[in-house]
Amino acid sequence: MISKRIQEMVPSVTLAQSEKIAFLKKQGIDVIGFNIGEPDFNTPMNIIKKAEEAYSLGLTKYTPAAGMIDLREEVCRKFKKDYNLDYSVRDVIVSSGAKQSLTNALMAIVDPDDEVIVPTPCWISYIEMIKLTGGKAVLVEMDESNGFDLDVDKIAKHITPKTKAVLINSPNNPTGAVYKKQDVEKLGNLAVKHNFYIISDEIYEKLIYTEEQNCCTASISPEIKEKTITINGVSKSYAMTGWRIGFAVGPTDVIKAMSDYQGHTTTSPNSPAQYASIEALRNSEEFVQEMKKEFDKRRKYIVERLNKMEGIKCYEPKGAFYVMPNIKYFYGRKYKDFIINNPMDMCDYLLEESRIAVVTGAAFLAPHNIRISYSNSMENIKTGMDRMEEALKKLK
């Protein structure tokens, strides 16, 4: 008998979609993937070389549970350099991906019946991770007309004595929103006043396309830093999703609890990948800038194309590599056997009719949107947008 805990887990909506896409591809049908949640760039060669070096040096053994000291020192240097923040090695944990750091953080601070507030749309794994701790996810909807900016007044209405944390993500997956410093500061001050944590997932920090800087929550004030667990990693910034290295910094007692938990569940993260991640953090600025320039070109192009399509409304996201157009206009419209009543119908229609794979916003609690990832070549984006435009014109 499967545990209640797992039975209560909502299976990933995107998995069903991936299955359909895999079937089409298997039949040799050319599907353009706009469903991808990782950079389409290769990991830079200097990083790969360091992993090779690690293998030949015999750095293939367990490391301390919280990660190699050298890497944790490098993470401290990163926070000093980027945000003038002082952390010591004991305030850092390295995990098997940011995802594990997030799970560790929630396991470390959330008791059954505690509440964790999550602004939505959000990355759906947050909700399942919170449920696994026995805590309750309190979902607060952000407003699309403001590009899904952080609405702290709305969040404040949901703070109760049971609030253990607010989990924010900027730049945001799926909305691409980049939160403003004044809003994050307002939330930080509430955390200090009401004594809850902010879990600040900043995994897309390097991918911001406007003049704005990433507002690193912990850097706002020493009091807010004491209440903040920052989640980050190498996956998105250095095109290293498969290497599975993430990290977190925060209050020493929380990091210790996270590493105690990690020690019992995975021992330590992959050692050659940790060694390579030192190189990523140290020597990859040029790569990051190149990747960002390319993503920005695609972002501008795709937003322009989408907004020219009749019925599509798409605000311009400032970060990450996703756009999330609203498709409500098409509800009730038909073509052949397809009737569009929700974003999932639109995903099925676009997959069948135009051979492009996009993700339903419903998977991120965005009930009237689809998520399009522009982590694909400019050529494929152009072809994909042409196909999408054609398919939408057919819906009457």
Ligand X SMILES: Cc1ncc(COP(=O)(O)O)c(C=O)c1O
Contacts to ligand X by CB under 6 A:
37, 97-99, 123, 169, 173, 201, 203, 233, 235, 241, 246
User: Among residues 40 and 353, whose Cβ is nearest to ligand X?
Assistant: 40
Q: Closest separation between CB of residue 288 and ligand X, Å?
A: 16
User: Among residues 95 and 259, whose Cβ is nearest to ligand X?
Assistant: 95
Rounded to the nearest 5 degrees, what angle is found at the Cα of 222, between the Cα atoms of 220 and 224?
60
User: Among residues 205 and 294, whose Cβ is nearest to ligand X?
Assistant: 205
Contact predicate 47/240, CB 8 Å: yes
Q: Closest separation between CB of residue 246 and ligand X, Å?
A: 4
User: Among residues 269 and 384, whose Cβ is nearest to ligand X?
Assistant: 269
Q: Closest separation between CB of residue 14 and ligand X, Å?
A: 11
Q: Closest separation between CB of residue 169 and ligand X, Å?
A: 5
Q: Closest separation between CB of residue 277 and ligand X, Å?
A: 11
What is the distance in angstroms between the CA of the first residue and the CA of the last residue of the chain? 48
User: Among residues 118 and 388, whose Cβ is nearest to ligand X?
Assistant: 118
Pairing, β 92-95 against β 32-33: unpaired
Q: Closest separation between CB of residue 35 and ligand X, Å?
A: 12
User: Among residues 169 and 326, whose Cβ is nearest to ligand X?
Assistant: 169
Contact predicate 29/355, CB 8 Å: yes
Q: Closest separation between CB of residue 174 and ligand X, Å?
A: 8
Q: Is 84 left (phi over 0), alpha (psi -120 to 50) or beta?
A: left
User: Among residues 79 and 322, whose Cβ is nearest to ligand X?
Assistant: 322
Q: Which residue is nearest to ligand X (CB)?
A: 97
Q: Closest separation between CB of residue 25 and ligand X, Å?
A: 21
User: Among residues 32 and 239, whose Cβ is nearest to ligand X?
Assistant: 239
Q: Closest separation between CB of residue 193 and ligand X, Å?
A: 27
Tokens for 23, please give them: 């079937």
User: Among residues 14 and 219, whose Cβ is nearest to ligand X?
Assistant: 14
